[in-house]
């Protein structure tokens, strides 16, 4: 397993929609293992494939470091599709490994219903209305070229504009490997 550089705001790959996975081969399995290694190294809860330079429709989660989720088993989501959102919403603070140092409250639906495939490309269904649903929505957004900052109101977007420009210029301190400016 390898720690991969994380793509940052300004990298073009983060603004392209992910491509469906049709076959899980050794290359995809290596990517998934490297994604877990990278996410754990950066102390994240989730990571989308485009955050490590891949166009594949994959994201991973591991909430086991969060209080109350210690028994959580790491999960892999291939070709995910949210098919249902709850009407009830909640505002919670979010951060992102591709937006280091930026945290903001984001309103999202409390619950979701997700269709996805596991690493054997077997169809799965997941329904949740907890932290898992929020992290899934965050990572799912990455696969659709959306950052949590895109979901902020006008005032929130104004507040993050300068920090985002600093990230794109690589003028921030980051404690994990990241792509070079303009690399992707």
Buried b (16+ CB within 10 A) or exposed e, 166-183: ebeeeebeeebebbeeee
For residues 21 and 58, is the Cβ–Cβ distance under 8 A? yes
Q: Which residues pair with 126 in a beta bridge?
A: 114
Whether residue 93 lies in the annotated active site = no
Residue from 107, 139, 155, 173 carrying the catalytic annotation: 139
CA-closest candidate to residue 163, choices 91, 104, 93: 104
At residue 146's C-alpha, the angle toward residues 67 and 31, to 5°, is 70
Q: Which residues are catalytic?
A: 139
């Amino acid at each position: 397993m390898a720690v991969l550089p994380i793509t940052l705001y300004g990298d073009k790959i983060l603004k392209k929609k992910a491509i469906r996975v049709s076959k899980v081969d050794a290359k995809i399995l290596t990517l998934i293992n490297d994604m877990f290694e990278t996410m754990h190294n950066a102390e994240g809860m989730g990571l989308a494939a485009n955050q490590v330079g891949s166009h594949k429709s994959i994201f991973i989660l591991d909430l086991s470091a969060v209080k109350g989720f210690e028994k959580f088993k790491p999960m892999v989501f291939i070709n995910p599709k949210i098919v249902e959102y709850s009407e009830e919403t909640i505002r919670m603070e979010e951060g992102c490994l591709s937006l280091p140092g930026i945290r903001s409250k984001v309103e999202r639906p409390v619950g979701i219903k997700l269709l996805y495939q596991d690493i054997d490309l077997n169809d799965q269904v997941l329904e949740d209305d907890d932290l898992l649903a929020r992290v899934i929505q965050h990572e799912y957004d990455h696969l659709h070229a959306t950052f949590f900052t895109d979901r902020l109101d006008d005032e929130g977007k104004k507040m993050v504009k300068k920090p985002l420009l600093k990230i794109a210029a690589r003028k921030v301190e980051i404690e994990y490997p990241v792509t070079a400016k303009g690399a992707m």
